[in-house]
Homo-oligomer: A and B are copies of this chain.
Amino acid sequence: MKVKVLIMPRKGLLDPEGRAVKEMLLEEGFPVREVKVGKVVELEVEETADVKTIAEKYLVNPLVEEYQIE
């Protein structure tokens, strides 16, 4: 099965890429309210794979990132 782990910067933490994209889109006339840039890790694994452990142990830094599995 394919599983996506979406990893975003925690609210309130520095997200320079998100800020840059937001400013650029505003300058281009798109009235965006907020932009965050994160990472997505797409895993192709067995049904039984422990994706939560993979995410928490190897992919996500909980100090500065939060994640969700899709």
A40-B4 Cα distance, complex, nearest whole Å:
11
State which of B30, B37, B59 has its C-beta within 8 Å of the C-beta of A41.
B37
Point out the residues of chain B lying under 8 angstroms from A39, CB to CB. 37-40
Point out the residues of chain B lying under 8 angstroms from A50, CB to CB. 30
Which of chain B's residues has its CB closest to A3's CB? B32
Q: Does A49 contact B (CB under 8 A)?
A: yes
Which of chain B's residues has its CB closest to A15's CB? B42
3 closest Cβ contacts across the A-B interface? A34-B44, A33-B44, A36-B42
Give 6 pairs: A residue, B residue, CB < 8 Å, sorted on A: A8-B40, A18-B41, A31-B49, A32-B43, A34-B42, A38-B39
